[in-house]
Amino acid sequence: MGSVVRFPAERITNHDQARLKEAVAGTIFDVFFEPDATGEPEAYLFRCGYAQPSFRLEKTPQGWDAVDLECGTRIIAASARDTQELMRLLAPRIPFRPNDNEAR
């Protein structure tokens, strides 16, 4: 019999990439995927207009972690079960009210 190759639950799939791209729509972030040393994709969140990533996203058996890259140590800034929830935690959507002063 051949050997069985198991993929870790932490592997970011094409489906995960599509969900992340959908989740960042309308937020202050852009998502970028870059292969790691083994060729597996890693997800990074960039604040719009910034040259360096703000967070590295890690898939876990419980969901997703956002590791803060702007501080010097490994700090998990947010954890969530799905990508939409993670984006809500990292970049809350604020309703746009162009004429807020007129409503008073």
Q: How confident is the model at residue 2 (pLDDT cuts 50, 70, 90)?
A: low
**What CA–CA distance (Å, rounded) separates 91 from 94?**
9
pTM of the model: 0.76
Reported as a pLDDT band with limits 50, 70 and 90, residue 94 is very low
Residues found in the chain: 104
**Stretch 78-87: mean pLDDT:** 93
Judged against a pLDDT cut of 50, whether residue 96 lies above it is answered with no
Angle between helices 83-90 and 14-24 (to 10 degrees): 40
Residue-wise pLDDT for 10-66, tens only, equals: 789 999 999 999 999 888 899 999 998 888 899 999 988 888 999 999 998 899 999
Mean pLDDT calculated for residue range 4-13: 66
